[in-house]
Amino acid sequence: MKIDAVEVREIRLPLRERFEISSGYSEERRILLVRLHADGETGWAECVAGEDPGYSYETTETAWHVLSQFLIPVLLGAEVEGPADVERRLSHVRGHPMARACLEMACWDLEARRRGLSLAEAVGGSGDPVPVGVSVGLQKSDGLLVDKVGGFLAEGYRKIKLKIKPGRDVEMVRAVREVFPGAPLMVDANSAYTLADRDRLAQMDDLDLLMIEQPLAWDDLHEHARLQQSLETPVCLDESIRSAGDAELALELGSCRIINIKPGRVGGLGSSRRIHDLCHARGVPVWCGGMLESGVGRAFNIALATLPGFTIPGDISASRRYWERDIVDPEFEVVDGMMTPPSGPGIGVAPDERRIDELTMRVARWPRGRG
Ligand code: NPG
């Protein structure tokens, strides 16, 4: 297929409530939406880069720059075979996986629509509903956190992830555990600790957690291995894993026992599948992370999570957990802790173009000069 036009736009979507993690907080998402046009068909995707470089060095601004200056010019007018070819053609750009991923993912949507397949079918997954979880940001008090967790458990979510940081960890999680003794709880530190905190982290072993996610820095694979040796609770890696190569190294070193896969972080759905396949072959559980996506990004996450190795509920909550109103129709819903992947072609939900226009802050179109 020949890529004859590309559009990138930035929309601003206010979160229903502030979302706080160890490195900072977000009240509004600045989301880049990408549209690829080829042979009369359109493919949509979303870039998950954040507003600030707290989670990754990539930001909305760097992604805009790399997409416009280096990535889109390579694809424009090119005869591409499919998403794997797009990934290959963009591989000369070092790093910037979130910027590269959104073009590869838009091509997945485009190709799935052309073939009349749902995204879940196109990636090799199933159409079955999948159990999903929810991530709960840092709250002002333990009481507020307990209330929030209670609400999400009542909604049926199958996994509850609590954000932690030094000073808001063992005692806070214990307060939740005491109220909900059997709840499927995990914690996520977003790299807020060092190996010097090993004893503190080991106190989590008494709290019956599914896992501790990314306790140490993204490039501390060796230290994560030493930490995992001294913990009973499985370590899960997120920021550290950018490719199947990283996953293989982390497993060889014993740095983790579980891996979080986010298509944006690892450069797209092809790379996500390679990590999944590697882990599945070794019996290592994976789950799909979230990056506060709009419905466009959410559609890719739920499709990916239908692959058989995704045995732990992902951070794939309902649209209304984050948005007053999502930008897709229908919105994503969770019923009894399960989400059903859309069955229509491609992402299977319709981007609401009028609403997207209203939310748009800037737009760029190629070939240049197109209205
Ligand atoms: O449900 O989409 C979601 C958010 C899940 O907690 C979540 N994401 O570190 O995994 C993370 C965290 C995050 C959110 C990281 C936003 C960076 C930005």
State which ligand 1 atom lies nearest to the alpha carbon of 161.
6
Distance CA 38, CA 46 (A): 18
pLDDT at 371 over 70: no
Q: d(Cα 193, Cα 232) in Å, to the nearest integer?
A: 17
Side-chain-side CA neighbours of 238 within 13 Å: the count stands at 23
Nearest Cα residue to 7 out of 266, 268, 290, 351: 351
Nearest-CA residue for atom 16 of ligand 1? 291
CA dist list (Å): 179 to 145, 153, 255: 11, 12, 31
Q: What mean pLDDT, rounded, does the chain reach?
A: 97
pLDDT digits (tens, 9 = 90+) for 62-111: 999 999 999 999 999 999 999 999 999 999 999 999 999 999 999 999 99
**Residue 164 scores a pLDDT above 70:** yes
pLDDT (tens digit, 9 = 90+) per residue, 316-344? 999 999 999 999 999 999 999 999 999 99
Question: Which atom in ligand 1 lies closest to the alpha carbon of residue 290?
Answer: 2
pLDDT at 370: 52
Report CA 319 to chain centroid distance, whole Å.
14
Residues with CB under 6 A from ligand 1: 21, 50, 55, 135, 188, 190, 238, 289-293, 315, 317
- Pocket probe for ligand 1: among 55, 60, 134, 218, the residue whose CB has the most ligand atoms within 8 Å is 55
Q: Active-site residue 2, yes or no?
A: no
262 in catalytic set: yes
Query: What pTM was estimated for this model as a whole?
Result: 0.97
* 291 closest CA partner among 12, 22, 55: 55
